[in-house]
Amino acid sequence: MNKNTDIQVGILGATGYTGRELVRVLSNHPKAEIVYLGTSSAQGKPYGFVYPELLGSPLGDLIMEDESSVPEVDVLFCAVPHGIMASRVAELLARGIRIIDLGADFRLKDPAKYRQWYGEGLDLSDPDHPDPDNLSQAVYGLTEIYREDIAAGSLIANPGCYPTSALLPLIPLLANGLIEHDPIVIDAKSGVSGAGRTPSARTHYCQVEDNFQVYGIDGHRHMPEIEQELSFAAGASICVSFTPHLVPMVRGMMATIYTRIRKDSKVGETDLRHCWQNAYQDVAFVRVMSPGVWPMSKHAFGSNNLYMQVRVDERTGLVVIVSVLDNLVKGASGQAVQNMNVMFGLPEKTGLEMLSLWP
């Protein structure tokens, strides 16, 4: 563990799936070193106690510590359940630790929405969010959109996986006035790892396998996050129809999005593609596929890439957009490391150029 590193890294919630994925991604990073693995369940044990395949490697032998005892790291990745970081970041920021929160506590700018969507089970007396000051300072960590703010930020609210898959294709189209604001239908499909490591009836193998499920149809927490960012992009209040589904696979996500070309515009499929190409021309991880080639979720498996494609259906006048990503990489831990790179002035791709696995 004697890399010539610039960045000392800590991880809270190291034993969860996104924690494990941070370890995988950072193990390949030339400028970052993990020096702290925080856990609420396995303090004093080596990381390999939970992930025995890593025993015998430096990270597998690293002893996990209590989540309360964060050392003087340069950056802390937080992969803990929502409700915890909301009241912890103030003290950590005061110590000069920069924070990348993979949870949801600092994503919704409106405290009332935080209470509405995440308040259940939390003790939110008044105000609606435990730390409204830092909430207002937090930067939404959608790297390609907020790169400059991220570079200057101390507290990054890393986006959810579904929002990442929907926002990256839609934001440029809305910002450039190419599509209507209504309807925007997001029919999203996710692998099971997005549901986390805690066993439940919903994630039981026999419930998931050979099965395709819809859920959260009465309102999923990622919907207000999507609407917030689309509204920013459009400069108007946007309402989406968002329906998530569960696919019998471990990793991967697809969003199939239905919307309309802006009325009275003469925009066509080519214009939509050009808009994307302009928006993402210098961007490593957003890939507009060649005409006629459609992304499948496995294209992104294990990589930090998001792939997208678009078609305008002349018959119905609808625009059909498909985007895919790996929910644990670009949808979580990979994007978090991408944000770290931006924060520390490194090339954005540093440590993130691993190719996807096929098959």
Q: Which residues contact 91 (CB under 8 A, 6 or more apart)?
A: none
Q: Which one of residues 1, 90, 215, 268 is an interface residue with a copy of itself (CB under 8 A)? A: 215
Q: Figure out which of the listed residues 3, 44, 56, 235 binds a copy of itself, where binding follows CB under 8 A.
A: 56
List the one residue from 82, 220, 222, 299 that touches a copy of itself (CB under 8 A). Answer: 299
| Rounded Cα gap, residues 303 and 77, in angstroms | 19
349: left (phi over 0), alpha (psi -120 to 50) or beta: alpha
Interface mask toward a copy of itself for 24-53; x: CB under 8 A: x--xx----------------------xxx
Q: Applying CB under 8 A, does 55 fall inside the site for a copy of itself?
A: yes
Q: From the candidates 161, 206, 239, 275, give the one annotated as an active-site residue.
A: 161
- Say whether 76 sits in a helix, a strand or coil: strand
CA terminus-to-terminus distance, the chain: 32
Integer Cα distance of 310 and 284 in angstroms? 19
Dist. CA 309–CA 305, nearest whole Å: 13
Q: What one-letter code names the amino acid at 64?
A: M
Strand bridging mode 75-78 / 98-101: parallel
Cα–Cα distance measured from residue 100 to residue 156, given in angstroms and rounded to the nearest whole number: 5
- Exposed / middle / buried, residue 218 (Cβ in 10 Å: 0-12, 13-18, 19+): exposed
Any contact of residue 282 with a copy of itself (CB under 8 A)? no
Tell the smallest beta-carbon distance from residue 270 to a copy of itself (Å): 16
Q: How far is the CB of 215 from a copy of itself (least distance, A)?
A: 7
Number of Cβ within 10 Å of residue 65's Cβ equals 18
Q: Which is nearer to a copy of itself, 208 or 267 (CB)?
A: 208
**Rule CB under 8 A: which of 252-281 touch a copy of itself?**
252, 254, 256, 258
The pair of structure tokens assigned to 55 is 């025993």
| 161 is an active site residue | yes
Under the binding rule (CB under 8 A), the answer on residue 162 touching a copy of itself is no
Q: Which of 302, 327, 343, 352 binds a copy of itself (CB under 8 A)?
A: 302
Q: Which is nearer to a copy of itself, 135 or 322 (CB)?
A: 322
Residue of the chain from 5, 40, 203, 231 that contacts a copy of itself (CB under 8 A): 203
Instruction: CB nearer to a copy of itself: give 241 or 278.
Output: 241
Decide if residue 237 touches a copy of itself (CB under 8 A): no
The set of catalytic residues is: 161
